[in-house]
Structure 1
């Protein structure tokens, strides 16, 4: 006897189909079962969806209903909580639930047939964990013990506000240890912002938990893994074999049937916000998932996002998180780095490094210590220019300049990837004297080598080698780590002490435990102080505090660590708060400005972005949809009170308005009420679809809604 099954599939947006379609099945299958179903001329993966919450697919002709191709047997159904999480994420971030749910599953799972999956599951299962093992765990500091105690006794969510080096990871480890010991089925999810931070964390968790639960109890999930690796890790988590899952933002959707603890480390990091597809915030979804599944959620950071800081105010003032404070560094290296501000107005014109900073670097490396120089711009120079005619190395496909990379003599666009050899002369006037403007990490590396050419490595001058060894300067950025394994190799060299001065972008500024670095220098951080983006100061303060946190982590070196800030604005309040390591003062000042300007977290925002063949078409599409909302929707019953709470700004070009010959525009929508904004966006979706077909919008390629955008 056959039955009807509601199945969630990723239907094409242009097909005007709902995401839940009806299929025929010879047997009743529970909601959450993975099935293969025909869709058009192809076969695809689907999820049997909860009939009550599926949403009606409308009337259908039973004669046209197709049968499922088969169920993926051996894989337990996805839980109701997982389905709720995906449904909420799709609704809140204005995407199809089919698109979000199917993208959350491993790519290989979407490709394998039921027969192939059955063979895959017949392979040897991983061995169970070691039984009866006893593991000595490090003693906690009083601050750590207090934090662990509060996490155990309070439902949360928690904001673990701890200085860099205060031992937040040890708190995570203790909480996971207590959880797994108390519940033989419990699982924990530990999230980090970037792939390059997972290996060191995985190593630490495996060292702690593999002796207790086996090698397979800890798995990673991130986009840097191969498809078979991702499927293996996903199946281990879904089946309960993996007790601990470490991952980047995509791991927030991992199937963990017995999830009881979620940790979001470096919760402030912008990498937790997806920039394509469903533009979700993994941090915010982690908090929602914790509430949904009854799991405790710990958000950890030395520089919390202003949203999380605001939510962790006292409960009597409306706070929703419990703030746990760990201001002290662990062990004898308890002194925070000394912050020095160098006024570049008093340095020689065009000076890259102040003489004081160069002397300080020489002094450090002479003692065998390491230094780190930070500049968040890769390449040799941002622009190549001709002084005679004014030509600059613009990208022909983007409204941006191509960056000069001296190492391979190329001009490279960091937006579309277009690359050309550096011309021998100006393409416009023939002048052979074209020169770089500005500087990137390549130039810093080269300039430092010139300034430190006479300095020798500590201990390298011996009677057998009177000339000694030259300093070793290494650069870590997206260019130097392009090859597989390059980042791990370069980080290992730093940890081993084979590098004296490390130059890099934000890749080196966060999360890494460099034990021998005692001096950190930020060369040119002022740009963010005057950005049009209201979040720029928050990002700069966070980045500088995180970079400062790399210094002075090894007490055995004995020296007072230092952070040097080279700035033309030494009196700026941001640098004053940084010098005092006073994040609360910075946050208070920023939140006051945000409240006065009615900016998040005191309002809710959404951006609608449009890509088109011309800027006129992109803006026409957005402005037409805006006009409809302000005129036609205003006449709809019940809508005036909603629209009264909204501000729809006119369409404007994006900061970089053309990328790869595609013109881009954006429109900001703002409201003091998140509920009103969501109600409007849900009702406005059909308007956007209808507006696309208007004559003035011809040339529109795509549009997308970004809820709670991080960059405007």
Structure 2
């Protein structure tokens, strides 16, 4: 009798699977979790194949220690997607597969579903007669009369004394007490009524709905406030009506609760799973399992949710598809937007990408016909118009702690009108650095190639890259001068300045520091909508996805700094960011205004912003990319190395370059230190590879990386980044 051998994926940095004896397994167990011996350890793995052959002597194979769960945890569809990711991003298959699981499922132990008590009328209970004056009992009886199983929490609204009533009925044999799977959404919500769509919205819904059951990527290009979310909701409603599940991806955690509230109000009777890294392991597991079992019909999540098993998946929606948060920067380095498109293709379903400022790669695909473009050119609220954008010339206006006289006057005008203002600066802390005026010393991070940021309230200097912190010195450590001072402006300094200038105004700072506590951001949003805030100061947390009806002024501080960046994507990112934050103004009946402080009032980027002309500016940038041979007209990969000394990283990359085969369609550049060379006591270097043909590049990488794996890499780490977001 031939031995049964399972190929098991393990979370290890090697590009291979591991063979184990598995006499009890069959092909139906592919995707199942198992515990296996590995050296002196016991590791969790996923079965990827079951057969009778092995490249190793059968006598040397160890048996699987334990088979977990009653059924496979990953279906064939998701395993196929993960195989694609492993191949395309050239990441070990085992590490790729295990990274797709919730943290709780990566532990070598069985999982349990949360259950709750539930009640159901028995046959004798259905014949029971309830006294006419027992109003609470009659309401409870009416609720149970449909014969269905009702979770205990859903009965509380019928009667305040429902517990004692049910206990009495249980003794009489009128009800039975059952255990059922706990629903994800216990909180009762007021059902939202769907508004009537305008012609552009209705047309978008009609065209996407017509593609049901076939792969078709759509780009929904809508100006800020044009009602993209309402289009999402109507599409979800159509998919649910046909028995499908919907996956909605959002870029950041802080957008998930807001969107979840909108979806729950529209679909109060539908289980909605939310998946993001801000959830605890237990809750995330329960939501993942509900989606995997098909109970959760809607899944709202950040990038990792793209790998969630969804047996009835019928539609994928990606909100703010241009956002960099969809790029995973460690482990399996993937772009969730691109993976979602592959998943839709494999599943043969439509996928919609929504944005006011699409990524240039997405826009190029729409221009060339690979994606179907749908446009929303007007704001959804008929009284709302796009804000006017005014440039404040900093060459003629002197700023006080970042605030120009023109911006100060505009803030005062909004205070007089009892309207809200948002001051946007993408730099948290008090000031970007601490400087000695006498000798030129500035506070640098001892672990990174960056300056420490001043956090004056905590009397600390902090590194925003590695987390290093130290006390603010009383004097310059180089020359002893006590006249050292913060230079530049951050959110905390703006908060201090505005509170001094407008002492009666209610000022609220929103950045990563002020929103650390759980539920703090949700509380802040309630304050803003309740009119308890006059001036908001915020970073990119406030730039997108938020709708504050009384906010009519946006002031932008220090946007020019991005214009000096050597990154070829810097202009695209800045335009997108400014367009998004400008869109927070004037979303209801009040007219919005945006003031951008700049020394370059004639810059094409700012002129395009004033016209709200994404299409024109995208055309300009694509022409520049084409002439410079940048993406999307070239395809790139970066081999990165990290070592204690940058010379070691560069030497490794030079040897890796020497391992590459000659190919006239492949360009290999010389190894170079990374822009941020030192980070967290590790020095970094990179080697850029590119080709005008994606297929050629992939074939080259497959052969080349197999050779790199065989190189000695003592005391350093390396990884490959395909389609890098940053170089």
TM-score, L = length of structure 2: 0.87
Contact residue 184 and residue 287 of structure 2 kept, 8 A: no
Q: Which moved more, 1:59-68 or 1:595-604?
A: 59-68
Matches of 2:401 and 2:493 in 1, distance apart? 13
Contact residue 11 and residue 17 of structure 1 kept, 8 A: no
1:605 has 2:636 as partner = yes
Q: Which residue is equivalent to 1:456? A: none
Q: Which residue is equivalent to 2:152? A: none
1:323 has 2:373 as partner = yes
Matches of 1:308 and 1:119 in 2, distance apart? 41
Contact residue 191 and residue 266 of structure 2 kept, 8 A: no
Q: Give the 3 Å change call, closer, same or farther, for CA 423–601 of structure 1 in structure 2.
A: same
Q: Which residue is equivalent to 2:180? A: 124
Q: Give the 3 Å change call, closer, same or farther, for CA 17–566 of structure 1 in structure 2.
A: closer
Q: Which residue is equivalent to 1:638? A: none
Pick aligned residue for 2:97 from 85, 98, 101: 101
1:659-693 per-residue CA deviation (whole Å, 9 max, x = no partner) reads 12111111111110111111111111132223335
Pick aligned residue for 2:415 from 365, 374, 378: 365
Q: Which residue is equivalent to 1:200? A: 258
1:536-580 per-residue CA deviation (whole Å, 9 max, x = no partner) reads 00000000010011111121xx3x210111000011111111000
1:422-477 per-residue CA deviation (whole Å, 9 max, x = no partner) reads 11111111111001111111111111122223xxxxxxxxxxxxxxxx11111111
Pick aligned residue for 2:486 from 423, 428, 436: 436
Q: Give the 3 Å change call, closer, same or farther, for CA 386–187 of structure 1 in structure 2.
A: same
Q: Which residue is equivalent to 1:23? A: 21
Aligned positions of 1:274-313 closer than 5 A = 274-313=328-367
Aligned positions of 1:183-262 closer than 5 A = 183=243, 186-211=244-269, 213=270, 217-262=271-316
Aligned positions of 1:465-476 closer than 5 A = 470-476=504-510
Contact residue 191 and residue 248 of structure 1 kept, 8 A: yes
Aligned positions of 1:280-429 closer than 5 A = 280-313=334-367, 318-348=368-398, 352-429=402-479
How far residue 117 of structure 1 moved from its aligned partner, in angstroms, is: 4.5
Q: Which residue is equivalent to 2:147? A: none
Q: Which residue is equivalent to 1:159? A: 219
Q: Pairwise CA RMSD of aligned residues? A: 2.3
Q: Give the 3 Å change call, closer, same or farther, for CA 226–400 of structure 1 in structure 2.
A: same
Matches of 1:474 and 1:128 in 2, distance apart? 33
SS at match of 1:686: helix
How far residue 47 of structure 1 moved from its aligned partner, in angstroms, is: 2.3
How far residue 350 of structure 1 moved from its aligned partner, in angstroms, is: 6.5
Contact residue 5 and residue 48 of structure 1 kept, 8 A: no
Q: Which residue is equivalent to 2:241? A: 181
Q: Which residue is equivalent to 1:35? A: 33
Gaps of 5+ in 1: 454-469, 635-642
Pick aligned residue for 1:63 from 59, 62, 71: 59
Contact residue 5 and residue 28 of structure 1 kept, 8 A: no
Larger Rg: 2
Gaps of 5+ in 2: 117-177
Q: Give the 3 Å change call, closer, same or farther, for CA 2–445 of structure 1 in structure 2.
A: farther
How far residue 74 of structure 1 moved from its aligned partner, in angstroms, is: 3.5
Q: Give the 3 Å change call, closer, same or farther, for CA 247–2 of structure 1 in structure 2.
A: farther
SS at match of 1:124: strand
Matches of 2:191 and 2:391 in 1, distance apart? 49
Contact residue 21 and residue 57 of structure 1 kept, 8 A: no
Contact residue 510 and residue 538 of structure 2 kept, 8 A: yes
Contact residue 21 and residue 63 of structure 2 kept, 8 A: yes
Q: Which moved more, 1:585-594 or 1:387-396?
A: 387-396
Q: Which moved more, 1:488-497 or 1:237-246?
A: 488-497
1:48 has 2:47 as partner = yes
Q: Give the 3 Å change call, closer, same or farther, for CA 112–124 of structure 1 in structure 2.
A: farther
Q: Which residue is equivalent to 2:6? A: 6
1:478 has 2:508 as partner = no
Q: Which residue is equivalent to 1:710? A: 725
Aligned positions of 1:453-464 closer than 5 A = 453=503
Q: Give the 3 Å change call, closer, same or farther, for CA 296–528 of structure 1 in structure 2.
A: same
Q: Give the 3 Å change call, closer, same or farther, for CA 371–579 of structure 1 in structure 2.
A: same
Contact residue 567 and residue 726 of structure 2 kept, 8 A: yes
Matches of 1:172 and 1:8 in 2, distance apart? 39
Q: Give the 3 Å change call, closer, same or farther, for CA 445–128 of structure 1 in structure 2.
A: closer
1:492 has 2:526 as partner = yes
Report the number of matched residues.
Answer: 659
Q: Which moved more, 1:104-113 or 1:120-129?
A: 120-129
Matches of 1:691 and 1:128 in 2, distance apart? 49
Q: Give the 3 Å change call, closer, same or farther, for CA 482–77 of structure 1 in structure 2.
A: closer
How far residue 483 of structure 1 moved from its aligned partner, in angstroms, is: 1.9
Matches of 2:718 and 2:548 in 1, distance apart? 43
SS at match of 1:482: coil
How far residue 244 of structure 1 moved from its aligned partner, in angstroms, is: 0.6
Q: Which moved more, 1:59-68 or 1:336-345?
A: 59-68
SS at match of 1:171: helix
Q: Give the 3 Å change call, closer, same or farther, for CA 687–124 of structure 1 in structure 2.
A: same
Matches of 2:467 and 2:9 in 1, distance apart? 34
Matches of 1:59 and 1:123 in 2, distance apart? 48
Q: Which residue is equivalent to 2:139? A: none
How far residue 39 of structure 1 moved from its aligned partner, in angstroms, is: 3.1
How far residue 65 of structure 1 moved from its aligned partner, in angstroms, is: 2.5
1:620 has 2:661 as partner = no
SS at match of 2:392: strand
Contact residue 543 and residue 577 of structure 2 kept, 8 A: yes
Contact residue 422 and residue 536 of structure 2 kept, 8 A: yes
Pick aligned residue for 2:575 from 538, 541, 547: 541
Matches of 2:281 and 2:113 in 1, distance apart? 17
SS at match of 2:180: coil
Q: Give the 3 Å change call, closer, same or farther, for CA 387–96 of structure 1 in structure 2.
A: same
Matches of 1:485 and 1:503 in 2, distance apart? 19
1:636-656 per-residue CA deviation (whole Å, 9 max, x = no partner) reads xxxxxxx11111111111111
Contact residue 31 and residue 75 of structure 2 kept, 8 A: no
